[in-house]
Structure 1
């Protein structure tokens, strides 16, 4: 495929074949997941499943790739699936418009996936997805909190047990330990201390008790790091 010519120059024919034979699961298509899914599609991955039950809201426009005035109110899965197929018409794409319950997380995660990208932004569904992946021995990379931060140079990819200065990672570590999961989960996180004044308390809808203000590029940078980690794993597999 000529559109992958530049990629093939870099990763060689073997790398392209590995990418085309790969199968990736992306859960959560917000600021992190929308960018991660697109980077993976543009790298030439052959099969992908995308999962999200949400629609675009005006507040998403500052940081989510397909969030535009024209897409407000539309399902994230529909908008992103059309975009991904427009990038690569040969992409085998499975689209699941749903929020993950614990049971569905366990059903959806399977050995057929080479990697799972957890781009969910609320704790309980993240726990369910991570535990499902670890129980089934499927590789997973999980995005921590991109909110309340401005310095993109402080983003790291490490085992979740080695993260620091991340409120979400700290809560996740504690909850995962209760489920006997304390290692084997790659995390994308930032070592920058969150800006305290940027937090807002909510009514707890959609598993969220609070959220931080977010700048345009930080979730994208998290998505980039997650996608880069997965693509590098695939080409060296």
Structure 2
């Protein structure tokens, strides 16, 4: 893996590279944001990943997801990412869980392995909040992605605390669910300062159905870049 990490070592040092190689990341949600975060962290030299997502690649993913090619349509996103990671670093260890994370399964998942860091790129509020709560209960470092849809401004993306994140329904719902726990002021998140565009939502034609949120190609990738930087800095001990 020396060639893979030779340039990274010049930035974070040999000790930092060694820490990345020894790390095991749990990534829940491998779509636009999660997929790019995994790709970048794999190229940074992370040694092991557990990837959780029950979604398969669809044609509508082609505009923004790193797993999405015409040749991968219909495949599990976790499987596609695992193959990419192995092509980048044959020594990497990857466990793929091709199912959506049920709230009741989260404690067992977190207790099954010693995770160095958790990346939460879940869209659904219930599992997202339960994962955050259980991570805090176990003192496992976690960073959570807020909403990247219905926006366009690359320069508006920030890394901060959940209490700082506004302007989107997901951060509002997560803050409300976690209110009273003290977590919103402690949870690290990636979010956008740009107000979401209400015209970017196409309501479902079915009663109670899930609508479609417009997205651009670059914004989920930028969210993933912020996550990759944050995790690399924390694990690599850049500011210790």
Q: So what's the TM-score if we normalise by structure 2?
A: 0.92
2:60: which partner in 1?
59
Residue from 176, 187, 190 that aligns with 1:188: 190
- Give the CA deviation at 1:180: 6.5
- Give the CA deviation at 1:179: 6.2
2:72: which partner in 1?
71
Q: Distance in 2 between matches of 1:14 and 1:137?
A: 23
Q: Distance in 1 between matches of 2:63 and 2:216?
A: 7
Q: Distance in 2 between matches of 1:131 and 1:175?
A: 10
Q: Which blocks of at least 5 consecutive residues in structure 2 are unaligned?
A: none
Q: Distance in 1 between matches of 2:169 and 2:229?
A: 24
Root-mean-square deviation over aligned CA pairs = 1.8
The structure-2 alpha-carbon separation of the partners of 1:160 and 1:126, relative to structure 1 and needing over 3 Å to count, comes to same
1:148-227 matches, within 5 Å, as 148-177=150-179, 181-202=183-204, 203=206, 209-227=210-228
Q: Distance in 2 between matches of 1:204 and 1:163?
A: 30
- Give the CA deviation at 1:178: 6.2
Q: Distance in 1 between matches of 2:207 and 2:118?
A: 27
2:128: which partner in 1?
126
8 Å contact kept, 2:4–2:43: no
Q: Distance in 2 between matches of 1:211 and 1:106?
A: 31
Say which is worse superposed, 144-153 or 119-128, in terms of deviation. Answer: 119-128
Where 1:50 maps in the other structure, the secondary structure is strand
1:84: which partner in 2?
85
Q: Which blocks of at least 5 consecutive residues in structure 1 are unaligned?
A: none
Q: Deviations over 1:70-102 (max 9, x none)?
A: 111111111111111111111111111111111
8 Å contact kept, 1:20–1:46: yes
Q: So what's the TM-score if we normalise by structure 1?
A: 0.93
In the alignment of these two chains, the number of paired residues is 235
